[in-house]
Structure formats: structure tokens, C-alpha cells
């Protein structure tokens, strides 16, 4: 109960990771120092992407990176995400850095059943690089093996500190990072701006330069994802994760310029894989990763 309260700020029933990993474990918690003898292998075809923090730092040094900027990811990359990342690199170049490098570092542990599984996200990320939405020369793809706790400000600190260990010195913080709806009430569990507030004052993050999220939306006039301009707010369309998933499930296309075509095709194929096979009337349900 104390661990749950300290991590999530509530003991309300229905917290996804709590139900997955803590409640059913009874009264047992194990902690202490760990010594890893050999790298952990998952044998799922993705182990080449599971780079340790030391391996990531070596890769950044090999690429002669003079700035490393990270962005927490657990969803497919649409062009709004890509805009944030490419704009950050542009800003760092304007600040005088010569070779800023992005670790594209998708979360690889437990996620809720309605999130897209890691294997499909990795296929989607490959298309994002293949189609030039992100530059492969300045992007390192690696899996961040943490589970997703959906623990709001506590987890935002963990995500940031873990990226420091991996060599990042700049961190893009978004709106409501690691947030979720309240499990029993019709409201958000955390304040939408908790990320930038907490990361600006949390101990141990002094070495990390926090870059506040600029809101991106679909510009219906330019037919592309762009930074939101309040002076012409009626020209912008906000496409939520729920809306994106609904479009993909229904095999509907998003507006041109929302996501690279190959990446969207992967997303549609994932939801197609949940459709019942011939002779079966039962819809396959997504399961937690």
C-alpha cells in the first residue's frame, strides 16, 4: 500500500500496472543491489535493439555526438512527434552544436492492452526512418526496457533520469507525460503540466536541459502537422491517440501528412491481425505487452 501510494499518489483500485504486477504478488517485495552477469535476451527478434546505457553512450561517442536529445515514446510515431524531434535538432544546431543525435527510445516493457505492442511499434519506427521522416544518420534506435507504470510525475522523473544514464543531456517533455485517466472517477489523474513542473525541480536532474513541448496539430490549410498557432486555431485539427486507433481499426486513412504511408500501413496491419479468422466469430482481443 505504501509503495503504491508513493508511486501513484493514490491507492484507488484499477491502476493498470498495480493490477498487473503488485496486487496479485501478495505481501512480497524484493529489492536491493543487482549484479547483471550477462545481458538479458528475450529471443523475440528485437534483441539487437536492446542497447544498455553504456552501449548507447559508446554509440553516441562513435557518431561524434556533441548533444543527445531524448523524447519518451510508447506510441507509433506520427509526423507531429517527428516535427518535435526534428525541430529540437534544428534548435540545437542554432545554439551552436555541430552534431545533435536523437535516441529513438521506445518503451519496451508492460503496456496497457489498448497500446500498440512493441513488435508492431518497432516495425512502424523502421518505416519512419526508411521514408526519411527521421534522419537515420542522426537517429539511434534502441528499446528502453522499462514497463509503463502510468504513474504521472513519479514516472516522468524515472524516464528522464534513465535517459541521463544513457547519455542524454537534453530532454523533450510533453503534455501529461505518463498520465492517465483516474481509474474510478471521470477526470484525469494528474495535472497536464506536471512533467515540466516536476522535471524543473526534481533532485538529480540538474545535468539535464528540459525542453518544453511545443503543441503540434494537423494544419488543414497546409495539409501537414505543424506547431499550433492560436491566431488561426480553426485551421488546426487535433487527432488524439484514440482517434488515430479508431481510424486504423476501421481501415480509414488519416489526413495526408499525418503519418508516413508505410508507418500507417503497419498500424492498419496490426489492427487487422486482431480481426477474427474465418470460421471464428470471436474478435481477438489485444493483450497487455
Select the more confidently predicted residue: 83 or 286: 83
Q: Do residues 224 and 94 make contact, with C-beta atoms less than 8 angstroms apart?
A: no
Select the more confidently predicted residue: 267 or 28: 267
pLDDT (0 to 100) of residue 279: 54
pLDDT (0 to 100) of residue 174: 81
Domains of the chain with bracketed CATH: 44-216 (3.40.50.620)
pTM score = 0.90
The crossing angle, in degrees rounded to 10, of helices 241-249 and 261-273 is: 70
Select the more confidently predicted residue: 24 or 156: 156
Label each residue of the chain as H, E or C: CHHHHHHHCCCCCCCHHHHHHHHHHCCCCCCCCCCCCCCCCCCCCCHHHCCCHHHHHHHHHHCCCCEEEEEEECCCCCHHHHHHHHHHHHHHHHCCCCCEEEEEEEECCCCCCCCCCHHHHHHHHHHHHHCCCCCHHHEEECCECCCCCCCHHHHHHHHHHHHHHCCCCEEEECCCCCCCECCCCCCECCCCCHHHHHHCCCCCCCCCEEEECCCEEEECCCCEEEECCHHHHHHEECCCHHHHHHHHHCCCCCCCCCCCHHHHHHHHHHHHHCCCCCCCCCCCCCCCC
Find the mean pLDDT for residues 164-186.
93
* Residue 27 clears pLDDT 90, i.e. is over it: no
Query: Cα separations (Å) of 211 from 89, 148, 199?
Result: 11, 22, 10
pLDDT digits (tens, 9 = 90+) for 216-249: 999 999 999 999 999 999 999 999 888 998 999 9
Q: Do residues 93 and 126 make contact, with C-beta atoms less than 8 angstroms apart?
A: no
Q: Who contacts 270 (Cβ-Cβ below 8 Å, separation ≥6)?
A: 116, 117, 120, 248
d(CA 48, CA 70): 20
Q: Please report which confidence band the pLDDT of residue 277 belongs to, taking 50, 70 and 90 as the band edges.
A: low
* Residue 283 clears pLDDT 70, i.e. is over it: no
* CA torsion angle 194 217 262 148 (round to 10): 10
* Residue 158 clears pLDDT 70, i.e. is over it: yes
pLDDT digits (tens, 9 = 90+) for 33-75: 988 888 889 999 999 999 999 999 999 999 999 999 999 999 9
d(CA 179, CA 177): 5
pLDDT digits (tens, 9 = 90+) for 177-219: 999 999 999 999 999 888 888 998 888 898 899 987 788 999 9
Q: Which of 132, 101, 109, 91 is nearest to 46 (CA)?
A: 109
Q: Please report which confidence band the pLDDT of residue 30 belongs to, taking 50, 70 and 90 as the band edges.
A: confident
pLDDT digits (tens, 9 = 90+) for 82-127: 999 999 999 999 999 999 999 999 999 999 988 999 999 999 999 9
Report the share of the chain in percent with pLDDT over 90.
75
Q: Please report which confidence band the pLDDT of residue 275 belongs to, taking 50, 70 and 90 as the band edges.
A: confident
pLDDT (0 to 100) of residue 282: 58
pLDDT (0 to 100) of residue 225: 96
d(CA 287, CA 15): 16
Amino acid at each position: 500500500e505504501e509503495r503504491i501510494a508513493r508511486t501513484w499518489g493514490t491507492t484507488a483500485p484499477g491502476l493498470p500496472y498495480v493490477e498487473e504486477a503488485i496486487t496479485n504478488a501478495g505481501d512480497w517485495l524484493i529489492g536491493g543491489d543487482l549484479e547483471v552477469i550477462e545481458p538479458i535476451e528475450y529471443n523475440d527478434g528485437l534483441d539487437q535493439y536492446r542497447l544498455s546505457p553504456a552501449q548507447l553512450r559508446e554509440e553516441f561517442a562513435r557518431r561524434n555526438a556533441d548533444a543527445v536529445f531524448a523524447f519518451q515514446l510508447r506510441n507509433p510515431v506520427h509526423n507531429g512527434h517527428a516535427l518535435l524531434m526534428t525541430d529540437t535538432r534544428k534548435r540545437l544546431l542554432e545554439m551552436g552544436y555541430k552534431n545533435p543525435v536523437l535516441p529513438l527510445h521506445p518503451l519496451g516493457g508492460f503496456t496497457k492492452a489498448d497500446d500498440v505492442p512493441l513488435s508492431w511499434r518497432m516495425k512502424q519506427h523502421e518505416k519512419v526512418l526508411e521514408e526519411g521522416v527521421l534522419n537515420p544518420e542522426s537517429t539511434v534506435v534502441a528499446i528502453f526496457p522499462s514497463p509503463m507504470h502510468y504513474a504521472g510525475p513519479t514516472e516522468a522523473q524515472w524516464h528522464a533520469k534513465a535517459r541521463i544514464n544513457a547519455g542524454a543531456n537534453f530532454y523533450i517533455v510533453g503534455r501529461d507525460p505518463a498520465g492517465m485517466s483516474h481509474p474510478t472517477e471521470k477526470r484525469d489523474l494528474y495535472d497536464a503540466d506536471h512533467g515540466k513542473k516536476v522535471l524543473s525541480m526534481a533532485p538529480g536532474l540538474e545535468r539535464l536541459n528540459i525542453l518544453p513541448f511545443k503543441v503540434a496539430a494537423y494544419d488543414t490549410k497546409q495539409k501537414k502537422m505543424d506547431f499550433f498557432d492560436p491566431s488561426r486555431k480553426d485551421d488546426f485539427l487535433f487527432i488524439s491517440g484514440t482517434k488515430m486507433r479508431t481510424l486504423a481499426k476501421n481501415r480509414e486513412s488519416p489526413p495526408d501528412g499525418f503519418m508516413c504511408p508505410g508507418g500507417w500501413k503497419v498500424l492498419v496491419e496490426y489492427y487487422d491481425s486482431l480481426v477474427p479468422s474465418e470460421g471464428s466469430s470471436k474478435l481477438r482481443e489485444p493483450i497487455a505487452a
